Homo-oligomer: A and B are copies of this chain.
Amino acid sequence: MEIENRKAAPIGVFDSGIGGLTVTREIMRQLPDENIVYFGDTARVPYGSKSKENIIRFSRQIVRFLKTCHVKAIVVACNTASALALDTLRQETDIPVMGVVEPGARAAVRETRNGKIGVIGTEATIRSEMYTQVIRRMLPDAEVIGNPCPLFVPLVEEGFAKHKIAEEVIDIYLSELRKTDIDTMILGCTHYPLLRSRIMEYFGDAVHIVNPAYETAMELKAMLEEKEMAHPVGGEASYEFYVSDAAEKFTKFANSILTYDVAATKLVNIEEY
């Protein structure tokens, strides 16, 4: 690809469903000139309960699809795929591929003063200890306390994020973690940034809340600048959304969290890629 064409090419972002829109939202905010192609694998969500073999197969199919959109870089905006498929995708792909786990872990390691880091996420994410492993590579003495919050995803997806029920569920899941002396906590699920202000309020100033969606957009920005791949300033960025099922529901949710108006989401038969 010519350098200038490459700069104008979109960023590919994918997730198992709608959660990756929080990462997309941060990319839109921090890199307002970049075009984005988003793919949500809504037909095969959730990835957390699938085998590593299947996650790699799904991720390869999505990368093949995104490459037909001529993306210049790919963000794996899904914790499970970041943990299980990133190494494989990086080896097989000739464009940069980023995950969300490393940026989140890196920020936590940078922010912690006492080395005690909390991680909240889905049951699958916490059980896999994916954040613990990456944090320990960066800070071997870190103490990582994982805490699953399984109802957070449906609460957010069904529109209860701002309801007082969300406060009660936060208290049920996180009261024990709040009693520990962690000084940093990672929102280890792409849906959780939509509960961020409530969670920050619940923990207060003593705990720094790390949002991997924000950190990932920051690292993407640095990477594009370093590789001289950033889109030139000016013009209006274009955003395209694709899913493997239930396009209408996706569009509705996307419009509830993005400032950009998502007019239509296109359906892709991902098994064909």
Contact with B along A212-251 (1 / 0, CB 8 A): 0000000000000000000000000000000001100100
- A150 interfacial by beta-carbon distance below 8 Å: yes
- A174 interfacial by beta-carbon distance below 8 Å: no
Contact with B along A158-189 (1 / 0, CB 8 A): 10100101001100100000000000000000
In the complex, A150 Cα to B50 Cα: how many Å?
Answer: 23
Residues of B within 8 A of A165 (CB): 165, 168-169, 172
In the complex this chain forms, how many copies of it are found?
2
Partner of A42, one of B49, B150, B154, B246: B49
- A155 interfacial by beta-carbon distance below 8 Å: yes
In the complex, A132 Cα to B163 Cα: how many Å?
Answer: 31
CB distance from A53 to the nearest CB of B (A): 12
- A151 interfacial by beta-carbon distance below 8 Å: yes
Residues of B within 8 A of A160 (CB): 151
Partner of A154, one of B151, B163, B249: B151
Residues of B within 8 A of A150 (CB): 154, 158
Residues of B within 8 A of A153 (CB): 154
Residues of B within 8 A of A249 (CB): 49
Q: Do the beta carbons of A246 and B151 come within 8 Å of each other?
A: no
Chain B residue with the shortest CB-CB distance to A246: B49
CB distance from A267 to the nearest CB of B (A): 11
Partner of A245, one of B50, B163, B168, B172: B50
Residues of B within 8 A of A168 (CB): 165, 168
Q: Do the beta carbons of A245 and B158 come within 8 Å of each other?
A: no
Chain B residue with the shortest CB-CB distance to A150: B158
In the complex, A272 Cα to B49 Cα: how many Å?
Answer: 19
In the complex, A245 Cα to B47 Cα: how many Å?
Answer: 12
* 12 A-B pairs (CB sep. < 8 Å): A42-B49, A43-B50, A49-B246, A49-B249, A50-B245, A150-B158, A151-B154, A151-B160, A153-B154, A165-B168, A165-B169, A168-B168
Of all A-B residue pairs in the complex, the 7 with the closest CB atoms, nearest first, are: A154-B154, A151-B158, A150-B158, A49-B246, A49-B245, A165-B168, A165-B165
